[in-house]
Amino acid sequence: MNLPNATDRFAARLLMVSFFLPAKWQEVSVMAASVYFIGRSLYTKQLIPKRDYGLALLISSIYILYLLSVPVTTHEYRAFLLILCQRKVSLILMPFVFVLMGPFFRKAIMGELWYFVYACFISCAAGNADYLYHYYFFHGGLHHLSHVDYRVIFERFTGIHPTYMGMFLCFSICIVLHSSAYNYTAGRRLKYALLYVLLIFMLTLLVKSALIALAIILIHYAYLHRDLVKQHKLLLTCMFAGVAAACFFIPFTGQRIMEVLAYMGVGRPGDATDNSVYVRKLILDTDTGLLKHNWLTGVGPGRVLQLLHERYFFYSVYHQYNFGYYDPHNEYFYEWLSFGVIGIAVLLAVLATHFRRAIMAKDRLYLYLLIILFITFFTETVLSRQEGVLFYGLFTSLFFFNANHYQTRDAAGV
């Protein structure tokens, strides 16, 4: 077995583009590709080290906490907890899928990462085209829609929340930077052009967590490739000048920046009703207020949202304005509130295991993926939505066991 066949490549590409399909088709495509690769692995009799099963349990230990909490959860909250278990099942399925499919097929999937980039680009381009259609045909192009209107139109068309699309765009940029494909003169120009367009898409959505993660990644990448940066400094300068110009001409970017400035007391004052930064502060205050009284044992995963909704209800009554209801918008707080100190300790231990694997395997793309997730966890409960839990479960498991295979092989002197 030297190279993946055409069906192997098709199944791998299906996995990559599945993130941008409607939810039901996403489930079907991931399941079909997973079953295919496991079947192929069993047919080709690829050897699976026994220790890999233990490692799969280790990195899926967050999900095991949810399973263990089912019997001790009261009947009133058990139904919602079972829904959570169903929603998060990729956390335990994906590690075992990649254990069972064997190293050859994991490598085949890694070889098709560019199709994630292609699908992300097409999805964003279509979402922006739909926005322009609404802007010119429904609003006559007479005034700029707000960034809130833009994000609503974008999400309605693509079916992907802007925060998650920002995460996908950031990872796509990392794939392009890390890839050795198109390493010829015309190809490099195409890569720079693609990077520029992906950056524009990110600036249009202006997902703050994704931009922070990208800034950290670019600083690290520039340091590691400082000779290449010096060699192409003119091209990079023009590229960043173009990005800066785009920031000036994209109205949504300015609106989002003004939100932050208003919160800091610079510019037009705002309040929690029209400024997402204030809403984030409200969410943070509510989360920390609940955590102060339940930091040791938590409240149980089935009760987190109910208790938060009660607090938002009384907050709205007190201020005589309906502020709505929010989940913790922070994965660390979510697990801490759900399971207490044990929950946050398990989450951090799993992330530390992944970071250790990425560093030991010297896999920079794996490391960049973890940086994106680590930072996004501060602003979003990523593991509570299908698009987030599947992204986390599939890619962290793929990189973990792919890195584990090559690290074991190198240690053996192969």
pLDDT digits (tens, 9 = 90+) for 348-379: 999 999 999 999 999 999 999 999 999 999 99
In a domain, 304, yes or no: yes
Mean pLDDT, residues 374-391 taken together: 94
- Among the residue ranges 258-262, 394-398, 400-404, the one predicted with the least confidence is 258-262
- Tell whether 71 is covered by a domain: no
Task: Output 367 or 130, whichever has higher pLDDT.
Answer: 367
- Tokens 């560019």, located at residue: 114
Asked if the structure places residue 388 within a domain, the reply is yes
- Look at 318 and 123; give whichever has higher pLDDT: 123
Residue 240 forms part of a structural domain: no
Report pTM: 0.91
Quick check: is 157 in a domain? no
Count of structural domains, the chain: 1
Between 191 and 120, the more confident residue is 120
Beta strands in 170-261 (DSSP E): none
pLDDT band at 303 (very low <50, low <70, confident <90, very high): very high
Neighbours of 198 (CB within 10 A): 22
Each as own residue / partner, the long-range contacts of residues 344-348 (CB below 8 Å, 24 or more positions apart, any chain) are 346/61, 346/62, 346/65, 347/62
d(CA 41, CA 12): 14
389: containing domain: 271-414
pLDDT tens digits, one per residue of 133-177? 877 766 555 456 677 778 888 999 999 999 999 999 999 999 999
Cα separations in angstroms, 164 against 137, 259, 283, 389: 28, 21, 19, 11
Does a structural domain hold residue 148?
Answer: no
Instruction: Supply the pLDDT for residue 273.
Output: 42
The pLDDT of residue 187 is 79
Query: Does 4 fall in a domain?
Result: no
In single-letter form, the type of residue at position 325 comes to Y
Kindly state whether residue 353 falls inside one of the protein's structural domains: yes
